[in-house]
């Protein structure tokens, strides 16, 4: 699953606190993208995902950034998922370039976990995977991330992020999961009015 940042609006925009709402998206899943593991599982459609988010800087003397967001996928069966993380600026950061390192956790409700990692009886027949019914909400993944922001013009910001990801218990036990751990890199350009 891949959830994009989308667009958002800051309801609160103070020096140490940002609170906002937005609209993200989830790319869904195509059976043909991984025919060995997803054959018979069916496609999941692209979905809009309304979200809420908060970013808080603890203090100037201890500039740890705490971030949290919650998204709800609007496709049938999509569910809700959220992230909580804490990041510290690393040595060499400046007013134009800053990079952070820190851990985060992704928590999902049962509906999201079933949609992403479950195998229904119909899917089991079509795919030859054993059925897998997720009973509880829980941790979707643990992560350690590195993110860098470079303000290269008055209103433009280049962001690059990298993360090492390890799935939670409900996801790891799914018969459609090949690897418990993965790595990801994302790059974006942001414009601030």
pLDDT of residue 36: 72
pLDDT of residue 5: 67
pLDDT of residue 32: 84
Pairwise CA distance, residues 76 & 115, whole Å: 9
Pairwise CA distance, residues 177 & 26, whole Å: 19
Global confidence as pTM: 0.82
Pairwise CA distance, residues 52 & 42, whole Å: 30
**What is the set of domains in the chain, with CATH numbers?**
3-191 (2.40.160)
The pLDDT averaged over each successive group of 10 residues in the chain (193 residues) is 69 94 91 80 91 94 93 93 95 90 97 94 92 95 95 92 95 93 92 80
Pair type for strands 156-167 and 17-26: unpaired
pLDDT of residue 2: 45
Pairwise CA distance, residues 175 & 7, whole Å: 34
């Amino acid at each position: 699953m891949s959830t994009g940042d989308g667009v958002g609006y800051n309801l609160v925009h103070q020096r140490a606190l940002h609170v906002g709402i937005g609209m993200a998206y989830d790319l869904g899943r195509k059976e043909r993208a991984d025919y060995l593991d997803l054959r018979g599982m069916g496609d999941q459609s692209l979905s809009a995902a309304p979200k809420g988010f908060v970013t808080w800087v603890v203090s100037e003397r201890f500039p740890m950034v705490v971030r949290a967001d919650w998204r709800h996928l609007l496709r049938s069966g999509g569910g809700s998922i959220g992230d909580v993380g804490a990041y510290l600026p690393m040595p060499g950061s400046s007013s134009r370039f800053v990079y952070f390192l820190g851990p985060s956790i992704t928590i999902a409700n049962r509906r999201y976990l079933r949609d992403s990692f479950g195998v229904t009886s119909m899917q089991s027949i079509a795919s030859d995977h054993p059925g897998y019914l997720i009973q509880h909400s829980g941790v979707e993944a643990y992560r350690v991330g590195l993110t860098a922001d470079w303000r290269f013009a008055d209103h433009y910001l280049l962001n690059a992020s990298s993360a090492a990801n390890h799935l939670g218990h409900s996801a790891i036990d799914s018969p459609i999961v090949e690897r418990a751990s993965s790595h990801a890199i994302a790059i974006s350009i942001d414009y601030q009015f």
